[in-house]
Amino acid sequence: MSSTMQNKASLPVIKRLPKYYRYLSNLQADGRDKISSSELARMMGTTASQVRQDFNCFGGFGQQGIGYKVDVLLTEIGKLLFGSGELLPTVLIGAGRLGTAVSSFISRDTNGYKLIAAFDINPALEGKEISGVTIRPLSELESFCAAHKPVVAVL
């Protein structure tokens, strides 16, 4: 994303991107290939003008009278939210039952995260594998983070 685009996108616009992404994902799952700004505005609880202004911050992807292509918007908003396909190095803290479920969610390629380590205080879990990584003692967290520089921690 160029700096001119970053300067044009206000914080409220950026905060709306995940909601756009979720609605567009649902539309795509329902087999929709196009959507109008007014229809998307109704879903978002805003105005068609606001939707058009939001998308114009990032280059405007619609055509008047035709609307927006759902797949194009999803791809572009996905790039803004998740970067250029690079997965974010992620650590999981807590590898019990809930942690195990969360780890499988994180490990799906479609989520933008790459699980690089899991930590837990329970010595019985130490050395076990969870979603392709070995569970480490919590006491190693600080040194691991210093060495591997994860971008995301899931607690």
Do residues 92 and 102 lie in contact, with contact meaning Cβ atoms separated by under 8 Å?
yes
% helix, strand, coil for the chain, step of 5: 50, 20, 30
Strand positions, DSSP E, 1-155: 34-35, 68-69, 88-93, 113-120, 129-130, 133-137, 152-154
All structural domains of the chain, each given as residue ranges with its CATH number in brackets, are 3-82 (1.10.10.10), 88-154 (3.40.50.720)
**Which single residue is written with the structure tokens 């001119």?**
4
- Give the predicted TM-score (pTM) of the model: 0.53
Residue 114 bridge partners (DSSP): 89
Q: What does each of the 155 residues of the chain score in pLDDT, given as a tens digit?
A: 443 344 467 888 888 999 999 999 999 999 999 999 999 999 999 999 999 989 888 776 677 778 899 998 988 888 887 776 678 899 999 999 888 888 888 877 556 788 999 999 999 999 999 999 999 999 999 999 999 999 999 98
| pLDDT value for 9 | 72
| Distances, alpha carbon 35 to alpha carbons 17, 23, 57, 74, 129, in Å | 16, 11, 18, 12, 44
Q: Look at residue 8 in the predicted model and tell me its pLDDT.
A: 61
